[in-house]
Structure 1
Amino acid sequence: MTKMADNGSSVEIVEGCRLPVLRKNQEHEDEWPLAEILSVKEVSSRKLFYVHYIDFNKRLDEWVTGDRLDMKKLQFPKKEAKTPTKNGLPGSRPSSPEREVKRKVETVPLATQVPPATPVPSLPSSAEASQASVFPAVRETTTFKAREDHEPISSLTTNGTARRLIPPQPGRKRKANCGGTDEDSQDSSDGIPTAPRMTGSLVSDRSHDDIVTRMKNIECIELGRHRLKPWYFSPYPQELTALPILYLCEFCLKYLKSLKCLQRHLTKCNLRHPPGNEIYRKGTISFFEIDGRKNKTYSQNLCLLAKCFLDHKTLYYDTDPFLFYVMTEYDSKGFHIVGYFSKEKESTEDYNVACILTLPPYQRRGYGKLLIEFSYELSKVEGKTGTPEKPLSDLGLLSYRSYWSQTILEILMDLKPDNGERPQITINEISEITSVKKEDVISTLQYLNLINYYKGQYILTLSEDIVEGHERAMQKRHLRIDPKCLHFTPKDWSKRGKW
């Protein structure tokens, strides 16, 4: 699009330009954040611009008209040095000997990493921490004595006010209180965290230079009684992405190009629930376990749908090494998908979740925590501790932080004094009770600012604000997993050949 600049010369907006763009904000006043132009197209003699708002989540990217662009502050893209090409295409990833579509389809950006534990002064090693005594949750003021047979990591006291037992160590950054944004999740330690191994049917996408995968390619998805507006790119067949609506069978997740095709499909589709074994049912909530090898088409279609709402991920068509746990809501028409998580059949890193998603119509209703709680219930049956695969999405990160905080605080506040002695518990014991990996237990305690260092031992101090906040949160948490309703027998996949 060519417009006149202030000096009378003509300028052309091209991909890579940056300038303020009017963003329609329903909650606050309209604003003009800086945005990058990712694509330009002409529709009915009018130019449209696909923009990404800098420092905003990509789910807010959109097509805008020229009248929403502030041309006075136009910034042209900087020229960059040429980078080596692979397979003849800049920034492309090496292809396998097999057809690339069979291996993977490149996609977009997603996630914020759950922070590694921020070190408190001279924090014991994992072996020592596993034996360290942790905090008692008590309301009245009392004097605590450390166990002599264990290295203490914290003894907890609440007396109505938060009290700092020792001045913060010089140069040490403290975690923000619970409820922070993604910025709070950055690693505050001086060391560089080691990147975890990426696995999963959807794994972290490390190539962000493909302009096509940075743009939403689907306008709308109709899934049962819901119409969903995708947040991110998903590699559905290209001929379907130009349609105003993509239709999905809500039971088998097959994608179709028209309502007529969907109606014809429904006359032949016998499914009324996800294919697989129902391993949990309480009230209207059910969980189904789907084997990625036995139900390959369903698993691939589930990943395509999930990719619409997960960023920084690459879709893998090889679903054989994964199990998918789909949560549904039951009514007279069948079992309707609410969300899911996937996990590796064998994980050397103790991952109990590879990808996790609650579909947008069911978000902010407690289903995300229910999925997380279910994943840990499976770990309890397996006799293992588990952790989610990182990086997590921004929403996934918040959900896990909240779940870990509530789960650990629930245990601490249930502790009772033993014969008048201060109640104590170890990191190992918390991990064994909850199946939450020790590293996540420690990082959560640090995130909540519960750990203090006093007279050579670690003390956990629960303030009245944390106690009251936890009680309010638990009153709102109506959905819980009932272990008695779980019918699950773990399999030893190491002895099952290629699954």
Structure 2
Amino acid sequence: MSVWYASPYPPDFTCLPKIFLCQFCLKYFKSSATLHRHAGLCMWRHPPGREIYRSGKTSVFEVDGEKHKVYCQSLCLMAKLFLENKTLYFAVEPFLFYVMTEYDSRGCHMVGYFSKVSDLHREKHSAQNYNLSCILVLPQHMRKGYGKMLIEFSYLLTRREEKVGSPERPLSDLGLISYRSYWREVILTHMLKLSPSPSSSSSSSSSRSSCSEFSVKELSQESGIKCDDLVSTMQYYGLLKYWKGKHIVLRRKEVLDEHAKKLESRKGSPATLDPSCLQWTPKTYPMYT
């Protein structure tokens, strides 16, 4: 793969035109011959840690940075090759890494991952209840829906924890686009579930009607998305209007019809998350005073 940015590999690696990585354990080598010898000995066929999700050929492994420090450091060094603002490389102990893979006869091949601060370290590292710190989809797997799937998976864990969450700020330009797209989809999907209001919120367009049943707080609790993120997304896409002293959610028929068609065409896609396949229970830690 052609990389986009420099990464702080050891000095004797950064001067090389190419480095070679084992796709399973992520160890790095100076030559293809060394990698070939390693591949004959490497017993890994999937990321370390616990497999917490499997649906079809897609799996997600939860990797603890404290228990699998070398693997997580190698993962962060590789991620820096494609993420301009990534600063975490070696202090991986406070983080959990959720590595998504595709399975074939040779093993589980990584397509991307996201990380977040573990509950054990959250009070020290984040008071904002961030549910995602860093996210990456490898270039050869981009534009296949895996970025949205990783974001959705982070909120699936948040809902299982019975919390609401938000990604760590600041978001990159690409990250903001991806999140706004996901938040918009959640909002429109929720609108499709609601019966349309019989009266128009403004008589200027018959394709716009007030979604009087819409509650941002209820959607936040249902989706795990913070209210602030939902409101800012509706404002950005023109789905929220201040009219006669009230904030009104606009139900745009043409937008909802287009979204319904998109959902229908996506059925059966391999990049579709099945919440019933998650085998994960939030860890609880003792409270000390």
What TM-score range do you get, normalising by the shorter chain? Answer: 0.7 to 0.9
Match of 1:110 in 2: none
Answering whether residue 86 of structure 2 is matched by residue 313 of structure 1, we say yes
CA positional deviation for 1:317: 1.0
Which one of the candidate residues 440, 454, 458 is aligned to 2:247? 458
1:415–1:423 Cα contact (<8 Å) kept: no
CA distance in 2, matches of 1:487, 1:278: 8
62, 82, 92: which one pairs with 1:289?
A: 62
Letter in 1 for 2:75: L
The one of 272, 275, 280 equivalent to 1:480 is 272
* Identity level (%): 51
Distance 2:196 2:47 in 1: 48
CA RMSD of aligned residues (A): 2.1
What is the CA–CA distance in structure 1 between the aligned matches of 2:160 and 2:26, rounded to whole Å? Answer: 30
Name the residue aligned to 1:439: 228
Shift, 1:413, TM fit? 1.4
**1:400 equivalent in structure 2:** 179
Residue 272 of structure 1 pairs with residue 51 of structure 2? no
Cα pair 1:416 1:423 within 8 Å, conserved: no
Preserved CA contact (<8 Å) 1:310 1:393: no
Distance 1:476 1:305 in 2: 34
Q: CA deviation at 1:418?
A: 9.4
Report the Cα distance in structure 1 between the residues aligned to 2:30 and 2:211, rounded to whole angstroms.
Answer: 65
Deviations 1:89-133 (A, max 9, x none): xxxxxxxxxxxxxxxxxxxxxxxxxxxxxxxxxxxxxxxxxxxxx
Shift of 1:417: 6.0
Higher relative contact order (CA 8 A, sep 6+): 1
Q: How many residues align?
A: 269
Q: Deviations over 1:151-187 (max 9, x none)?
A: xxxxxxxxxxxxxxxxxxxxxxxxxxxxxxxxxxxxx
Look up the SS of the partner of 1:275 in the other structure: coil
Deviations, residues 457-493 of structure 1 (Å, cap 9, x unaligned)? 1112232332233234434543221111000011124
Conserved in 1, the CA contact under 8 Å of 2:100 and 2:113? Answer: yes
Q: Supply the distance in 2 between the matched residues of 1:340 and 1:349 (Cα, whole angstroms).
A: 21
TM-score by length of 2: 0.88
- Note the residue ranges of structure 1 that are not aligned, 5 or more in a row: 1-227
1:263 partnered with 2:42: no
d(CA) in 2 for partners of 1:473, 1:396? 22
- Within the candidate set 330, 340, 348, 2:113 is matched to 340
Give the structure with the higher percent helix.
2
Is the Cα contact below 8 Å between 1:296 and 1:319 reproduced in 2? Answer: yes
Change (3 A) 1:244 1:476: farther
Deviations 1:238-260 (A, max 9, x none): 21123232100001100001111
Deviations 1:431-476 (CA, angstroms, capped at 9, x unpaired): 0110001110111111111111222211122323322332344345
Q: For residue 356 of structure 1, give the secondary structure of its aligned residue in structure 2.
A: strand
Counterparts in 2 of 1:188-207, with a 5 A limit? none
Amino acid at match of 2:228: E
1:411 and 2:184 matched = no
Cα deviation code 1:44-85 (max 9, x no counterpart): xxxxxxxxxxxxxxxxxxxxxxxxxxxxxxxxxxxxxxxxxx
Look up the match of 2:206. Answer: none
Structure 2 CA distance for partners of 1:238 and 1:473, relative to 1, 3 Å? farther
Displacement after TM superposition at 1:318 (Å): 1.1
